[in-house]
Structure 1
Amino acid sequence: MPKQLEVDSLYGLKFVSDPQISADGKLAAFVVSSVKDDKKGYEGRIYLSRNGRAAEVFSGGEKDASPRFSPDGSRLAFTRGVGEDKPQLFVMSLNGGEAQKLTKLKSGVSNPRFSRDGKKVAFLSRGDWEDTATKDGLPRVVTTLRYKLNGLGGAGIMAEEPAQLWVYDLESESCEQVSHHAVSVESFDWVDEDHLVFVAALSLEGSASWATRRS
């Protein structure tokens, strides 16, 4: 007989999200999130399945997310948050070893994606911008019509600094901001080894109007 679902049942639930398949179809990665043992927040780990076998824990962090395979399937890029720090970009070999931390941006990073040749990783970030209003407890001054969105951090208040496209070069170990748009970049993809396309609103108030630009 099925067990009755109760309020405390939430603590034992595991949530699977963001499935990713390698180019050759032999590998699958996904994120498993669950309530922490102390019941204060959630933790997320990346699981990896090889050749259709049962998935095993791949990453050892507590806040790992956004797994993305390199084109040749030899590495995995992902984001990891440590403690109270914002998530940063990490890359790890699928043959084992330690995950390599690539960024130290104060605002954190999101949505990593390898270039077509696997030599670069693009991602979104607000750079070293910090939301001082939340840290210092100061009143927040709103100057735009769109300022709040349910479900985001900071009680739903949208960040004042737009998210931009950044690229990390794995060979030179250098990181560069490549977009300078007035509004946050929403999505992007690689066109080839050196060019990206992205989607963003045309203006701060033009949420219904979108532009596609090659960077």
Structure 2
Amino acid sequence: MTTVFLAEKQCFACGSKSQYPLVDLNLSIIGPRDLDGRPSLIQRSSVYLWVQRCYCCGYCAPEITQGNNDDLEVIDSPEYQKQLNDPDFPETANTFLCHSMIMTNSELFADAGWAKVFAAWICDDNGYKEAAIKCRRMAFQCFTRAKANNQDFGETPSLEKLYLIDILRRSGDLTQAAALCDKELENTHDEQIINLLCYEQELIDNSDCGCHSTTEAEDEEL
């Protein structure tokens, strides 16, 4: 059972108080995931509650009561304020993208990348195709910077490669996705990873830039 409730919180940046929705996952959610890691069932829609926005000052964070002083400089910047209400993206996607800017300023590139991936999911849900592509391309850049700074963004190095391949494929960057996929198929991975890589390769060969799940990959294997 999943319970959504409201709690009054004070914004770290400006001190204003407001009600914020929270999610309490009382049971573990099981089921297929998308190839880019998006969970299924109830957790799939709870992504909208993974970030909070202060409507007084525009501060965006997973926990609105927490932050550091460097964050304050970012939220006052023209770039941040423009992104906050960019009409080319859904509102919640803008919230994630603003949080990503804060994470980038703190050189937390893995967190910044995932915030952009989450923004892409919001764009997917609301039919913002070009915005979703833009978010994924920015996420790829963040994850590349993360690895250059020894920051992990996946549970294992193999899954990190899979995420990158899927991000490239979903962005329509099929040539780059194919090159990375072919390279990884030459490396040693466990059977599950190999099967997922083979499924990604098939999707790329078919110029399929759509959303697919790990369950589909398993069915394909059968």
Same fold by TM (over 0.5)? Answer: no
Which has the larger share of helix? 2
TM-score (normalised: structure 2)? 0.25
Answer 1 or 2: higher relative contact order, Cα 8 Å, separation at least 6.
Answer: 2
Which has the larger share of strand? 1
TM-score (normalised: structure 1)? 0.26
